[in-house]
Amino acid sequence: MAKKTILVVDDEKDLLDLIEYNLKKEGFNVLKAENGEEGIAVAKEGKPDLVLLDIMMPKMDGLEAVEIMRKDDDLKNIPIIFLTARSDEKTEVEGLNKGGDDYITKPISTTKLISRIKAVMRRFDDTQESVNKLDVHDLEIDKDRYIVKRDEEEFQLPRKEFELLFFLASRRGKVLDRQTLLNKVWGDNIYVVDRTVDVHVRKIREKLGDHYIETVKGVGYRFKE
């Protein structure tokens, strides 16, 4: 596999250097930036495969940076791992909801950091999570337009239904339990009863037919392969 490039954005220079050293030792290319603004510029320039992003930074903080990245066609699909010293749960939720893919609280051991990075990359590699348009069976699921198309017919699903369908479809074949679905589609710190998933599944089936989402009793749901 080609060498992967990681962009590290943090205002603490020492930490930046430390992380760089360790990542390079692991065989990654490393780009650095010291605030959100610079981070975005470097990202556009260097097309990293993953971004390690500190949340608290001068000039432009991590959350703003993500918002901008997610709106940029070149950057929107790059996985992001937040680095945060802040424990504030609101930050956490906000970050993840805005498109962050994992978060890590500082300080963290190098081993853990590397393993998290690899885990996130692996997830991206084999789930096409970074794609905004899925073609599965006879469906075209378009996340840019929030529309599902079959033949010439277009279905406008409500947000949650669409996102649930998209998430399931992007992991075609894999059984996902309700809690995972809630965490990934609804958000990590949102509390709704897990049966809510059932109802949304039913509504999707109502509209598209029930041959896409399979039930695995006692485990969860699965998008048919």
The single residue among 41, 58, 74, 119 that binds a copy of itself, judged by CB under 8 A, is: 119
Rounded Cα gap, residues 200 and 35, in angstroms: 40
Residue 137 lies near a copy of itself (rule: CB under 8 A): no
If contact means CB under 5 to 8 A according to the sort of partner, which of DNA, a copy of itself, none does residue 151 touch?
Answer: none
As measured in angstroms, the least distance from the Cβ of 38 to a copy of itself is 25
In a 3-state reduction of DSSP, which class is residue 21? helix
Residue 200 lies near DNA (rule: CB under 7 A): yes
Whether 181 contacts 190, CB under 8 Å: no
If contact means CB under 5 to 8 A according to the sort of partner, which of DNA, a copy of itself, none does residue 202 touch?
Answer: DNA
Q: Residue 41 or 219: which CB sits closer to a copy of itself?
A: 219
Closest CA to 52 of 97, 141, 116: 116
The single residue among 21, 115, 193, 209 that binds DNA, judged by CB under 7 A, is: 193
Residue 178 lies near a copy of itself (rule: CB under 8 A): no
Closest CA to 11 of 47, 62, 76: 62
Rounded Cα gap, residues 163 and 95, in angstroms: 18
What is the strand order of the sheet 139-142 is part of?
Answer: 133-136, 139-142, 147-150, 153-155
Helices of type H across 47-109? 62-71, 89-97
Q: Residue 33 or 186: which CB sits closer to a copy of itself?
A: 186
The single residue among 25, 85, 135, 210 that binds a copy of itself, judged by CB under 8 A, is: 85
In Å, how far are 16, 20, 111, 160, 169 from 52, measured between CA atoms?
Answer: 10, 11, 15, 28, 27
By CB under 8 A, name the binding residues for a copy of itself. Answer: 85-89, 92-93, 95-97, 100-103, 105-107, 109, 111-112, 115-116, 118-119, 122-123, 126-128, 144-146, 156, 158-160, 173-175, 179-180, 183, 188-189, 191, 216-219, 222, 225
By CB under 7 A, name the binding residues for DNA. Answer: 156, 158-161, 178, 186, 190-193, 195-196, 198-202, 205, 210, 215-220
